[in-house]
Each structure stands twice: as structure tokens, then as C-alpha cells.
């Protein structure tokens, strides 16, 4: 619940999330939702803030509103959607930013998709102080956890899909076509150039030689020429719903049909019916089936994610506290986070048993937190006060210990 003096928002405004993803809905459903997105978005009109994240695998709206409970209640009845409120929203966003809710745990492309969507939302004024704080801090924590080596997989989805496609073809050399020239297209190109005899890029914009060195570049008007003689086609671009770049009639006009067509778009760029023409067709739903055995997320991160997401949530909703208290909280957060990372590493490496690691973490944390406060007494009264604090802590620890023994 947002307090009335925080961020100048209504007293009853709450953080909420409504979304759908490859785990909850079919690709046809997500295409339909994108086609009628204005109707879906109308439920979030009048929100204090909102952040929309749309990728090939998910459609999510993060929002702050006084009507949050009613919005969540509406979508909670439909199993194709997931909903969350308060701290759970932040934890979900952190999971997504780390790639732990993706096909391949730890994949990095989602981090940049969130970042790019965030920049757009800032420009159009939909994201303001609270969501800005949450998203900024989430991206920062995500980057920190990756740097700390706590995310075991750093694969790009596009790179892994390209690998699966090459394995499927099982040819020493082949001709490939990539439709698109963005980040996904570049990732696929980087992987394929070590295997493919020739790579053609189809794009609507002017390319520089350094972007795809050695590749042949075609415009959309030259699509048929680019496709002729290709063994595999990757579509890594976006189009309007049902506005297919390739359909059955197009394939019929080719002298040599491709063996494999991979459509990474949602909405799809290639008509799924081409699979009825003797071509292997993969869309994102089929790709999920192929890669889902790789989807093993590290369980040891759960406690760390809860701690981090709670801190992000508190930072967003209690920004207007007194500076001196804020400094103490900042120091405490830094110390606890530092000790938690050390403890996680010890537990992950199985260096000590859990009780020993947690006990040592607690001891070091208390010492670091209270050290500056209890040191250097100003006078006799200050010394007595500090001794009282220590005695109170000691009495509490003994009490806690006795209760555990009982």
C-alpha cells in the first residue's frame, strides 16, 4: 500500500502485474492479444503509472493504481494469465530480468528487452517515480548478480535456437537466410557464420559492412531471389498480426524449397501452413518443446531473490524518509547483501553445513552493523547506553537460544 505522502500518489494505490507467457498460453492466444492490444490496455487506463513489456514469449503490464485489486480479480479468473501484487511483482520482474523465467535460464536478451521498453516508457511518460525506481534497481541488481556469477547460464535464446537448427539440418555446409537486422538477427548470424556456406540478410534498412561482414544483403523486394537455393530460413523481425512475409503461394514459386523454416516472431511472420508443403516449420511454441529440457533454473537463488526484491520494493515506496535514517538503511542493506552473497557462495560450494554458514553470517552482520554505533563513546552516559544495548542484545540472543532448545 502506498502511503499518501509517498510519491504524491493516492493512499490506496498499489503495485500490480497482469501478464501471459509461453508457460500459460498458446502462441495463437498471444497473437490475438497483440492484435487486440488496445482492448486489453484499456483496463489499465487511468493508472498512476504503467510499464508494458512485450517480447516473443510474454506480454506483461506492471502498474500502480487505486483500482489494482479489481483489475487483478478480473484476470485471476482466466488461467491464461498470471497476476501478482506488491513485493511479488518486484520478485517476478527480477526473475524475468535474470532470464530465469525464459526458455533458457540466464539468457541475456531479456535484460536488454526490459531496458529498451523502460526507455520508451520513460519517454512517453507512463513510467514515473515509483516504477522508475523499481525498474532501475531491478536492472542494477540483475547486472550485479550476473557479475557475481550466481546465474549459471548466460546463453542467448537466438544462439541456442540457431544451434538446434544446425543440429537438425545435420549438413556440413548449407545456405542460410535471415530476415531482419536487429539484435536477434545478429546473434543468429554470429553463430551461423562458422557453419554456413553463405548467409543472406533481408532487411528494410541500409546496412553497413561491419554489421554482417561477408553476408549478402537483400531488400524485401528481392525476397524471392534471396530465398532461392536456401536450406534454412530464420525470421527475426516483427510484422503486423496476420501480415505474413511468407505463405504457401510464395513457397510454391520457389524452384528449391528450404528444408527448415524458423519463425521467431510473435505475431508470426511466416504462415504456419507452409509445414504442409514438406517443410519443417518451427515457431516459438515448437521451439519451447525442443529446448524445454534445458530449462533448469538454479534453486539456490530463491532466498537471494526474495531479499533483493524486498529491498527494491522498500526503496521505491519509502523514499521520503529522513536522510540520517536513509544512510543507516543504505549501510545495513549493503552489509546484509554482502554477507548474503558470501553465505550463498559457501552453501553453493558445499564448504560448510547450513547452520554454521548462517550462524557466521549473522555474527558478521551484527558486528558490522553495530560496530560503528557502539564504538567511541562520547561520555560516561553514552558508554552506559552502549553497554545497555549490548546487554539487551545478549539477553535476546539467550532467550532465542532457549526457545530453540525447548
Mean pLDDT of all residues belonging to the chain: 83
**How many residues in the chain?**
406
286-306 per-position pLDDT tens digit: 988 887 655 444 555 677 788
Read off the pLDDT band of 402 (50, 70, 90): very low
In the predicted structure, residue 7 carries a pLDDT above the cut 50: no
Identify which has the larger pLDDT, 73 or 358: 73
Contact 207, 201 (CB under 8 A): yes
Strands ordered across the beta sheet of 232-235: 216-218, 198-202, 175-179, 232-235, 260-263, 280-282
Read off the pLDDT band of 330 (50, 70, 90): confident
Which domains can be identified in the chain, with CATH numbers?
Answer: 14-152 (3.30.460.30), 157-294 (3.40.50.720), 323-405 (no CATH)
145: cell is: 548478480
In the predicted structure, residue 2 carries a pLDDT above the cut 50: no
In the predicted structure, residue 385 carries a pLDDT above the cut 60: yes
365: cell is: 552482520
Q: Phi and psi (nearest 5°) for 195?
A: -125, -35
In the predicted structure, residue 4 carries a pLDDT above the cut 60: no
Structure confidence at residue 83 (pLDDT)? 97
Identify which has the larger pLDDT, 357 or 394: 357
Identify which has the larger pLDDT, 79 or 1: 79
Average pLDDT over residues 100-128: 90
Average pLDDT over residues 196-208: 85
Neighbours of 269 (CB within 10 A): 21
**15: burial class by Cβ within 10 Å (0-12, 13-18, 19+)?**
buried
Average pLDDT over residues 158-169: 91
What is the percent of the chain with per-residue pLDDT over 70, rounded to a whole number?
Answer: 80
Picking from 221, 234, 225, 235, the residue whose alpha carbon sits closest to that of residue 269 is: 235
Read off the pLDDT band of 355 (50, 70, 90): confident
Beta pairing class for 58-65 and 14-21: antiparallel
Cα distances from 14 to residues 3, 17, 277, 299, 313, in angstroms, run 10, 10, 51, 29, 12
Identify the helix (H) or strand (E) that includes residue 77: none
36-73 per-position pLDDT tens digit: 999 999 999 999 999 999 998 999 999 999 999 999 99
Structure confidence at residue 152 (pLDDT)? 59
What is the percent of the chain with per-residue pLDDT over 90, rounded to a whole number?
Answer: 48
Structure confidence at residue 140 (pLDDT)? 93
Contact 265, 56 (CB under 8 A): yes
Structure confidence at residue 172 (pLDDT)? 83
In the predicted structure, residue 20 carries a pLDDT above the cut 90: yes
Read off the pLDDT band of 241 (50, 70, 90): low
Amino acid at each position: 500500500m502506498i502511503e499518501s505522502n509517498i510519491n504524491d500518489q493516492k493512499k490506496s494505490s498499489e503495485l500490480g502485474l497482469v501478464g501471459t507467457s509461453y508457460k500459460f498460453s498458446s502462441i495463437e492466444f498471444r497473437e490475438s492479444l497483440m492484435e487486440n492490444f488496445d482492448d486489453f490496455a484499456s483496463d489499465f487506463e487511468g493508472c498512476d503509472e504503467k510499464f508494458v513489456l512485450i517480447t516473443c514469449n510474454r506480454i506483461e503490464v506492471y502498474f500502480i493504481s487505486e483500482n489494482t485489486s479489481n483489475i487483478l480479480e478480473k484476470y485471476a479468473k482466466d488461467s491464461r494469465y498470471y497476476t501478482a501484487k506488491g513485493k511479488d511483482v518486484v520478485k517476478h520482474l527480477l526473475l524475468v530480468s535474470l532470464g530465469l523465467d525464459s526458455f533458457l535460464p540466464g539468457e541475456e536478451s531479456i535484460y536488454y528487452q526490459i531496458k529498451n521498453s523502460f526507455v520508451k516508457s520513460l519517454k512517453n511518460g507512463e513510467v514515473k517515480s515509483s516504477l522508475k525506481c523499481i525498474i532501475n534497481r531491478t536492472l542494477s541488481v540483475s547486472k550485479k548478480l550476473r557479475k557475481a556469477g550466481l546465474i549459471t547460464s548466460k546463453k542467448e535464446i537466438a544462439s541456442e535456437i540457431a544451434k538446434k537448427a544446425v543440429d537438425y539440418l545435420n549438413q556440413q555446409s548449407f545456405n542460410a537466410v535471415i530476415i531482419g537486422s536487429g539484435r536477434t538477427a545478429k546473434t543468429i548470424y554470429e553463430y551461423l557464420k562458422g557453419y554456413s556456406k553463405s548467409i543472406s540478410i533481408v532487411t528494410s534498412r541500409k546496412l553497413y559492412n561491419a554489421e554482417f561482414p561477408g553476408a549478402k544483403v537483400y531488400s524485401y523486394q528481392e525476397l524471392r531471389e534471396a530465398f532461392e537455393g536456401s536450406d534454412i530460413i530464420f525470421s527475426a523481425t516483427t510484422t503486423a498480426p496476420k501480415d505474413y512475409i511468407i505463405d504457401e503461394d510464395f513457397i510454391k514459386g520457389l524452384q528449391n524449397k528450404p528444408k527448415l523454416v524458423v519463425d521467431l516472431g510473435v505475431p508470426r511472420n511466416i504462415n504456419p501452413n507452409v509445414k504442409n508443403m514438406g517443410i519443417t516449420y518451427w515457431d516459438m511454441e515448437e521451439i519451447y518443446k525442443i529446448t524445454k529440457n534445458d530449462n533448469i533454473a538454479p534453486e539456490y537463488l530463491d532466498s537471494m531473490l526474495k531479499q533483493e526484491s524486498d529491498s527494491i520494493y522498500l526503496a521505491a515506496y519509502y523514499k521520503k524518509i529522513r536522510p540520517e535514517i536513509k544512510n543507516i538503511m543504505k549501510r545495513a542493506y549493503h552489509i546484509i547483501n554482502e554477507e548474503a552473497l558470501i553465505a550463498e557462495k559457501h552453501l553453493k560450494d558445499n564448504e560448510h553445513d547450513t547452520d554454521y554458514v548462517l550462524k557466521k553470517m549473522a555474527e558478521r552482520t551484527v558486528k558490522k552493523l553495530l560496530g560503528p554505533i557502539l564504538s567511541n563513546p562520547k561520555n560516561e552516559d553514552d558508554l552506559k547506553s552502549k553497554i545497555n544495548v549490548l546487554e539487551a542484545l545478549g539477553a535476546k540472543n539467550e532467550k532465542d537460544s532457549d526457545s530453540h532448545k525447548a
